[in-house]
Amino acid sequence: MASFIDFRNPPGSDRRADSVIRATSEPLWVRRTLIGIVLAFFILFLVLPLAVVFQGAFAKGWRHFITAFEDRDILHSILMTMMVTLISVPANTLFGVAAAWAITRYSFIGRQALLAMIDLPLWVSPVIGGLIYVLLYGRRGYFGPWLQAHDIRIIFALPGMVMATTFVTFPFVARSLIPLMQAQGYEEEEAALTLGANGFQIFRLITLPKIRWGLFYGVVLCNARAMGEFGAVSVVSAKISGQTNTMPLEIERLYGDLLFADAFAVASALSLLALITLGLKTLAEWKNRRQFEAGQRALLEQSIEAPSS
Amino acid sequence: MSIEITNLSKNFGAFPAVKDISLHIGTGEMVAFLGPSGSGKTTLLRIIAGLEFADHGEIFFDGENVTMKSANERKAGFVFQSYALFNHMTIFENIAFGLRVAPRFKRLSKEKIRERVLSLLETIQLSGLENRFPVQLSGGQRQRIAFARALAVEPSVLLLDEPFGALDAKVRRELRAWLTAFHEKTHLTSLFVTHDQEEAFDVADRVVIIDKGTIQQIGTPEEVRSGSSNNAFVRDFLAMDI
């Protein structure tokens, strides 16, 4: 999952994409074999499973597919997934922008530690991500007795599921912004400052337009992970269908209950969301590249028109 | 506006960038900070602008202590070496920026802002380019836009960090002449940082030679060039590319 983000060259960075590797240095059969292996792997591990999901969803026909989504428990799991995502993604967006800003703009004690800690959720298993919240807020956890005395439920309820999801999706926004903001520097922000702009104006008028596609990319990735998270959420959810099951948990339950067509129907809905996410991600990359190329073209035209001054 | 600097010091970690500098700059003066790279001249300029804060010492603008004021309160016009234009905005929006972010009660009307921007474009002889984007302009044109943007808010001091550093020789000379003419007309207090002796002597009323974070010599171009200094650094530095 960590490999989803290209840390050194995120989509928002204006890095030239002209360093195309020349394939002509390899013999033809090497190239063909390599491309063949990659394609076979791609079909076997990505395309085929995705096709099977949709095929399974429609195995009992259109009608059955639609009735699956009339089931109250299934609808509730979609609602739960949306609630968890709607809370954790904005929270991580806010945190990610703040962290990227702090890390790239200020030097403070603990800066390196913060930079390293942001990656923590990528290193540890999502199950541990769920478990730490049980250890903290569970009945026998640190804050358990206090929470119980005040009748607050975190574990086996929505708050815990939001926390676990937020933990797992913590790095995505910050990580897609930090290299970008480092590469851009902050002279434009300084210029705005000397022109009398306040901090909020600088962020809204200068920084945000500069990072918007990188930010969008980070949010889209974060969103995809939040919707699909299984491990961390399964630890802190009571896994009660119709109450605390999100879509991935509901898929597991349906599959366990041998309701294959229903399981695949929900799975296809989740896959569809992933495909939409992929489309948005591609759009963000394309937009960013186009903006960059427009600038390059204009520069070229200018230098042809007026070679000096 | 006059600027008074007293006992200014600034360290970056263990490295002393500015060491106990005191300096008075009179209203309407054009002063050059001349020195090799790493001498602390840019840091001094940035401290005056409020982009960097000194560890010790004080700064006064017209007798008012601005040491603790942030850059957006000081509003010194600052021109960056790399121009720092807002690439996602048109030339018009770039120049209008300072006017548009002013607090509502001080802000000019839309028509007034338009008038001011267009007249500034005329001053810098780039009328008609208001709808272009910075990347569509040449280096010299961008530099002039950076000037216009800084001047739009009518600053009482202009700070220029290696203003011609990134330009070729011909454009450099043109802009230098333009800046001299502009200063003679407006007498706006101006400080500029350069490592180019010819530029400093040609443009400035007074030259401040800086090395290792301290002032080595202050004087008019004639005084400094006469070689009367008994400072070893100044003699070596001046002998370097003459």
Say which of B74, B138, B150 has its CB closest to residue A302: B138
Instruction: Give the model's pLDDT for residue A17.
Output: 46
Instruction: Give the model's pLDDT for residue A174.
Output: 92
Residue A300: pLDDT band (50, 70, 90) is low
pLDDT in tens, A61-107: 888 888 888 888 999 999 999 999 999 999 999 999 999 998 888 87
Distance from the A204 Cα atom to the nearest Cα atom in chain B, whole angstroms: 11
ipTM comes to 0.91
Q: With a threshold of 0.90, does the pTM exceed it?
A: no
What residues of chain A lie within 8 A of the CB of B82, using their CB?
Answer: 187
3-state secondary structure at position A32? helix
Reported as type and span, the H/E element at residue B41 is helix B41-49
3-state secondary structure at position B6? strand
Say which of A192, A295, A303 has its CB closest to residue B97: A192
Tell me the mean pLDDT in the region A232-252: 89
* Pick among B61, B72, B90 to test the A interface (most A CBs inside 10 A): B72
Q: B241 or B3: which carries more pLDDT confidence?
A: B3
What residues of chain A lie within 8 A of the CB of B135, using their CB?
Answer: 295, 298-299
In B151-180, the residues whose Cβ lies within 8 Å of chain A are 152-153, 168, 170-171, 174
Rounded distance between C-alpha atoms, residue A170 and residue A91, angstroms: 9
Rounded distance between C-alpha atoms, residue A227 and residue A84, angstroms: 8
Pick the residue from chain B with its C-alpha nearest to A185. Answer: B84
CB B76 within 8 A of CB B154: no
Per-residue burial over A4-14, b = 16 or more CB atoms within 10 Å of its CB, e = otherwise: ebeeeebbbbe
Residue A12: pLDDT band (50, 70, 90) is very low
Are the Cβ atoms of B70 and A193 closer than 8 angstroms?
yes
Pick the residue from chain B with its C-alpha nearest to A306. Answer: B138
In B100-119, the residues whose Cβ lies within 8 Å of chain A are 101-102
In degrees, rounded to 5, the angle at the alpha carbon of residue B166 between the alpha carbons of residues B165 and B170 is 85
What residues of chain B lie within 8 A of the CB of A299, using their CB?
Answer: 135-136
Q: Is the pLDDT of residue B38 over 50?
A: yes
Alpha-carbon distance values, A15 to A9, A180, A181, B139, B219 (Å): 7, 10, 13, 21, 46
Q: Is the pLDDT of residue A309 over 50?
A: no
Q: Is the pLDDT of residue A11 over 60?
A: no
Instruction: Give the model's pLDDT for residue A13.
Output: 45
Say which of B87, B136, B153 has its CB closest to residue A195: B153
Tell me the mean pLDDT in the region B132-140: 90
CB B171 within 8 A of CB B204: no
Rounded distance between C-alpha atoms, residue A226 and residue B205, angstroms: 63
| Lowest mean per-residue pLDDT among A25-34, A171-180, B202-211 | A25-34
Q: Is the pLDDT of residue B31 over 90?
A: yes
Average pLDDT, rounded, for chain A:
83
Are the Cβ atoms of B101 and A188 closer than 8 angstroms?
no
Instruction: Give the model's pLDDT for residue A21.
Output: 55
* Residues in contact with B184: Cβ distance below 8 Å, sequence separation at least 6, in sequence order: none
